[in-house]
Amino acid sequence: MAAVAISAEGLVKSFGDVRALDGVDLDVPEGTVLGLLGPNGAGKTTTVRVLTTLLKPDAGRAVVAGVDVLKNPNQVRSLIGLSGQYAAVDEYLTGRENLQMVGELYQMSARDAKARALELLEWFNLSEAANRTAKTYSGGMRRRLDLAAALVVRPPVMFLDEPTTGLDPRNRMALWEVIETLVEQGTTLLLTTQYLEEADRLAHDIAVVDHGRVIARGTADQLKAQIGGERIEVVVQLPTDLEPALAALTPYAKGEPTVEPHTRRITVPISGGARVLADVIRELDGRGIVLHDIGLRRPTLDDVFLSLTGHATLGDDDENADQSADAARAGRKDS
């Protein structure tokens, strides 16, 4: 059995009245990727902040790369790379200067730091922008530079806090490829994300977090099995078309269809994806049913949460909880 690269036991952290972490337990075997999945305010970022020595927990224990996070934080810092939610680069420094500075602060010699900076810029396709200030970079370029900064010392353990939030699909894919290369090279990774798709693609294991606790743990397939498969959603133009449409859809259904007369919507569990969708469209069209909308729906994070906790995730309540957690954090005095 592989060694454990990241482990946490019973992490608790409160900000005022808000219990951001309520007993988080984690373990990430060496060379694997754990996806920490959850809505805003669930405790993902707080967990990362504790494991990367930025925040002292009220209770609990954490070991990263064999080093106790609370007892030897500075030793941990030299073994980890962190890339945050917002790109933490100095926008008035050039790409090269940013990476070189980080290298020197990892205690590399100026010459080594410079060589490593150039190497990383090339790998991240930033060579041409190397001598431009980061202010001129696009969002995707900044995110790549931030990730490069986390890789300066080739750390054995990396923490990526929502690495692709706010990126367009092309940049997201490019970043995923980089992350996959890192993992192939043996890096252990803890990744937080709001996107099921991202966790699905990158993580060996997924831990679903809500209200400061890990509420489910498993592979992407295991979690998907819990929350059901794909569905087709059809909205017809005329209320009178609801019944003929349901009749046309029933042969494709892999479960009980649901009909909402109020919104003229029919939802049918299917399997077969886009191919079935095409068949369904032809079938409905052939019967002269006018569609207002039709789409293939895959399980989303909302579905995961709905099925695991019985409450929706990204609604107003959680936004508010997140804000109050932020406010409590901002108002906190010395610990």
Chain contacts with other proteins (rule: CB under 8 A): 3, 5, 30-31, 49, 52-56, 65-67, 74-75, 77-80, 82, 84-93, 97, 101-102, 104-109, 112, 116, 133, 149, 153-157, 185-188, 329-330, 332, 334-335
Q: Which residues are 233's β-sheet partners?
A: 267, 295
- Looking at the Cβ atoms of 67 and 190, the one nearer to other proteins is 67
The alpha carbon of residue 90 and the mean position of all alpha carbons in its chain are separated, in whole angstroms, by 24
Burial class (CB in 10 A: 0-12, 13-18, 19+), 62: buried
Rounded to whole angstroms, the Cα distance separating 1 from 9 reads 20
- Looking at the Cβ atoms of 133 and 171, the one nearer to other proteins is 133
Report the nearest approach of other proteins to the CB of residue 3 (Å): 5
Report the nearest approach of other proteins to the CB of residue 125 (Å): 21
Report the nearest approach of other proteins to the CB of residue 332 (Å): 6
- Looking at the Cβ atoms of 54 and 306, the one nearer to other proteins is 54
Q: Which residues are 19's β-sheet partners?
A: 14
Q: How many C-beta neighbours within 10 Å does residue 111 have?
A: 10
- Looking at the Cβ atoms of 141 and 245, the one nearer to other proteins is 141
- Looking at the Cβ atoms of 143 and 231, the one nearer to other proteins is 143
3-state secondary structure of 235: strand
Report the nearest approach of other proteins to the CB of residue 135 (Å): 8
Q: Which residues are 265's β-sheet partners?
A: 235, 260
Report the nearest approach of other proteins to the CB of residue 59 (Å): 17
Q: Are 130 and 68 in contact (CB under 8 A)?
A: no
